[in-house]
Amino acid sequence: MADPDSLSGVTVFVAAARAGSFTQAAERLAITKSAVGKAIARLEERLGLKLFFRTTRRIRLTPDGEAYFAACSGALDDIAAAEAALTSANRVISGRLRVDMPVAFGRQVLLPILLEISRPHPGLSLTLSFTDALTDPFQEDVELLIRFGPLRDSSHLVARHLVDQARIICAAPSYLDQHGVPKGLNDLRDHRGVVGSRHGPPLSWVVAEDGQERRISPPATHQLSDGDAMVQAAVAGFGLCQAPASLVRRHLDDGSLVAVLADYSTVPVAVNALWPKQAHLSPRVRYVVDQLVKYAAAGRLD
């Protein structure tokens, strides 16, 4: 008969392998780092294998550890999937959920919704981060990403479409009074642009001309690393920017920004929820994603 403690050892092993750290695994499992180390040591002794290379700063799987992880992680995901399938939709959602989202869209649109979604579940703890960088959830310990458009490499991720938002090119009235209103894309060469950066929002704009979608490179006069900063720079009269509608709507409504080149900026941008493909979609991630889909259908993410 198998050791009754063997499954708990496997669970600790998989958590440590996924986290890449005994400390982070201990936090996720709500046990001590020492308990993680002892569980791994007992498992290695039982198997007669070394599962991790250890240094003072990091751990990484040995070849035997990689093979064992591939088998065990899939098995544990199958168990979790079976439990989720048997669980009532009205179950109490608990645990910590780590969500990363764009700065301006996250603060203005998603944060109030996530707090509203979480309120009926006091056992659900949120760790929320706001960045316009293209975060890798495996490196940043994130379980759920919200992003505008596709990631450069999303082969390891599952995506759920939430909503499409219009892209709007706009500028402050003071800027347009000084530099004129562009009538076509060729006019942009005489203007100043407020764009993203290499690790933040895109440097290029997406436009449609003669029925064809294409990317253009406006003057990169000012490069900023998050969408909120870009919008604020545009409001201050520093140039033209292209941004999703949710980021500029209130400024368009109060007149601090004016939309231009509307005939060209007609290609919407998708807002997607993404999570790691090989990790089972936990009940708390599933709950939040399903709720975001409902809120999107009700127009709350526009």
Topology annotation, domain 6-86:
Arc Repressor Mutant, subunit A (1.10.10)
CATH of domain 167-267: 3.40.190.290
Q: What is the pLDDT of residue 118?
A: 94
Domains of the chain, residue spans: 6-86, 97-158+272-297, 167-267
Strand partners, 173: none
Decide if pLDDT at 1 tops 50.
Answer: no
- Specify the long-range contacts of residues 12-17, CB closer than 8 Å, at least 24 apart: 12/36, 12/39, 12/40, 12/43, 13/39, 13/40, 13/43, 13/51, 13/68, 13/69, 13/72, 14/69, 14/72, 14/73, 14/76, 16/40, 16/52, 16/59, 17/52, 17/61, 17/65, 17/69, 17/73
Q: What is the pLDDT of residues 2-61, one digit of tens each?
A: 454 557 689 899 888 888 888 888 888 888 999 999 999 999 999 999 999 988 778 899
The predicted pLDDT at position 4 comes to 47
94 has pLDDT over 60: yes
Please determine, looking at this structure, whether the domain spanning 97-158+272-297 carries the CATH number 3.40.50.1000: no
User: pLDDT category, 91, cuts 50, 70, 90?
Assistant: low
Q: Is the pLDDT of residue 86 over 70?
A: no
Structure confidence by residue, pLDDT tens digits, 162-190: 999 999 999 999 999 999 999 999 999 99
pLDDT of residue 93: 85
pLDDT exceeds 90 at position 76: no
For residue 82, pLDDT over 70 is answered with no
Mean pLDDT, the chain, as a whole number? 87
Query: Do the first three CATH levels of 97-158+272-297 and 167-267 match, i.e. the same topology?
Result: yes
